[in-house]
Chain A
Amino acid sequence: MLKFLLRRTLIMIPQLFILSVLIFLLAKSMPGDALTGQIGPQIDAERLIELREKAGLNDPWHEQYARWIGNVIQGDFGKSAIYQQKVTNLIGDRLGNTLLLSASILLVSYLIAIPLGIIAGRWTDSWVDKLIVWYNYLAFATPLFVFALIILFIFGFTLQWFPIGGSVDIQADKGTMDYVLSKTEHLVLPTMAGSLLATFGTIQYLRNEIIDTKIKDFVKTARSKGVPERKVYSQHIFRNSLLPIAAFLGYEITGLIGGSIFLESIFSYPGLGQLFLSSISSRDFSVVNILVLISGSAAIVGTMLSDLILSWVDPRIRVD
């Protein structure tokens, strides 16, 4: 196991290197830079050229890359040209918000999807199953940005049950109970919008897996041993059906970091997704590069995590 971990970690180094080069080149190849947005009557064109030279934007790309990656490795993510703030500070605030929102979406969607998937799989073709499948396809077909707007309109705007934007009440002080409650309150609508639609994959996979598994021979063996039906499901069918869900867990955890651009924009929720969108439109590459690097690294870590989880639950692919 240790050897496996070590090997996977070592493989991550070249993966991350290639990823960082790609990100850097892609960002470079986009037209314009952070100074393009500043062109205007107030600023002298000569001054801009001077600034470019000073910022090293005219150096060959590999020199710029080396400078950038050297800083990143040392933990210096650079300064945002737009916000005039350290990227670390910009991300730090929002990373927590995004993780909180994504984790609550993931949790709630599992809480909904796993029981529904199990019910639909166990009682296939019953009216409950048909209802669940119907909901599932509806969830799959509904675009998130439409659904989020509907939720926002009904519960935030019309009924005014929950706040319609932000991540916390600005008057609440950190560390108080009010602060926690306010945070939770602000989470409700985006979580609802995200999780009700995110159930699709889990329900569909789980239902299909259960339908496949319940006719397997080892289930017959279990029944022939006189195992009560309830236990046949809990001990034999569900465990085997949860394998693909477990395999996806790693990727889902990766998704936690990426955040949701739609949700954060619609609910004006200050997270990484929102920051990403605004940084791209203002060509704030020092921020964009770091954000892409973070989610790219998260994807690589997530793949490894998936392998680990799967090898933990499935002895057949366990590594020694």
Chain B
Amino acid sequence: MGNPVLKIRNLSVSFKIKDYHYPAVDDVTLTINEDEVLAIVGESGCGKSALALSIMGLHPKGRTKIDGEINYQDQNILRLNDASLNKVRGNEIAMIFQDPLTALNPLVRIGKQIEESMKYHTNFSASQRKKRALELLGKVGIPYVKRVYAQYPHELSGGMRQRVVIAIALACNPKVLIADEPTTALDVTIQAQILDLMKTLQEDTMAGIILITHDLGVVAEMADRVAVMYAGQIVEIADVDTILKKPLHPYTRSLLNSIPSKMSNKSRLHVIEGVVPTIQNLKRNGCRFAPRIKWIGGSEHQENPLLEEVEPDHWVRCSCYRNFYFPKGKTGEKHDVLT
């Protein structure tokens, strides 16, 4: 694992709803290293996409307030003006979007869409750009590159389009690649191909990848380190083996417990009771997961929980994990990875 390429410090992203700013991402601190896949895991609405978009500067101005620092090569990209930001994004930091069916401009040929970022970040001539675009199409595993180069997005399948989206992201050899649920919109066989492809491509580019997902299967396959997010905060962060085999935070354990297993003879799946609070109803102090594990007494939570390093490189928020258990009668108790 290489040097850190992107350092996020105390990042908060707040959205303005009726004159108030509600943080969707709350005090997130993360480091992404070269040649590493950092997975960010959490339910819908936990702030993982908001985090990704803030790295790319893609939140609408005016309605979003971003505090903290995102440092890339000793410059805080949150402080950059538009022109300097545009030099970074697409060039040093690139993003792969969730839905390949909507991420491409329907009126522009595939080739032109891949070449577009080179137009602004390199001084390639038109023929060099074309050569590079064809090369990229080949790299992402597209057959008949010349034909696809001249085609329009609607002429390609979902999997093909996601390959094109990846080719676009890779066009300028970015050092950081953000993949926001890159396989969610694809069917399972294509998912595996796309994930393999990202792995292979990382070997060439040494890029640090931030993989945003809610699919723990994808995490197991891809990630080196995992950050688990709940209600805007990181609740646990560690390397992938620790997270999957020795998770500590109640939320991580509940998530893992919810995965149906072929081996078990449970008749019902494990369910985390309650719902993720909406951004307006979220209680901002205390352990944010406490309302969903009511059998853990209030005194066992910290008043103002912070991420603590409980063992080297394994950080957990709130001390409630020490007393956490799945109560008897709750399905899934046998499969709690700790017991």
User: Which A residues are closer than 8 A to B by beta carbons?
Assistant: 216-218, 220-229, 235-236, 239-240, 313-316
Contact = CB atoms under 8 A, between A and B. Distances in A.
A228 B117 CA distance: 10
Most chain B CB inside 10 Å of its own CB: which residue of A217, A224, A228, A236: A224
A239 B120 CA distance: 20
20 contacts: A217-B97, A221-B165, A221-B168, A222-B105, A223-B58, A224-B56, A224-B89, A224-B90, A224-B95, A225-B168, A227-B86, A227-B117, A228-B83, A228-B86, A236-B105, A314-B106, A315-B106, A315-B107, A315-B154, A316-B152
Interface string B138-163: 00000000000000101000000000
A218 B106 contact: yes
Interface in B99-113: 99, 102-108
Contact of A226 (B97, B103, B105, B120): B120
Contact of A228 (B108, B120, B165): B120
A240 B106 CA distance: 8
Contacts of B121: 226
B299 to A, nearest CB: 45
B245 interface: no
Nearest to B112: A235
Contacts of A224: 56, 58, 89-90, 94-95, 97, 169
B154 A316 contact: yes
Contacts of B120: 225-228
Contacts of A226: 85-91, 117, 120-121
B82 A229 contact: yes
Given A221-B103, A223-B57, A313-B107, 17 more contacts: A216-B102, A217-B102, A218-B102, A223-B58, A223-B89, A224-B58, A225-B120, A226-B88, A226-B90, A226-B117, A226-B120, A227-B116, A227-B120, A228-B83, A228-B86, A240-B105, A316-B106
A131 B106 CA distance: 32
Interface residues of B, number: 33
A235 B94 CA distance: 20
Interface in B59-93: 82-83, 85-91
A221 B107 contact: no
Contacts of B57: 223
A122 to B, nearest CB: 13
Contacts of B104: 218, 221
A217 B95 CA distance: 12
A17 B121 CA distance: 60
A315 B152 contact: yes
A220 B97 contact: yes
B103 A314 contact: no
Nearest to A125: B62
Nearest to A236: B105
A222 B108 CA distance: 12
A121 to B, nearest CB: 15
Contacts of B116: 222, 225, 227, 235
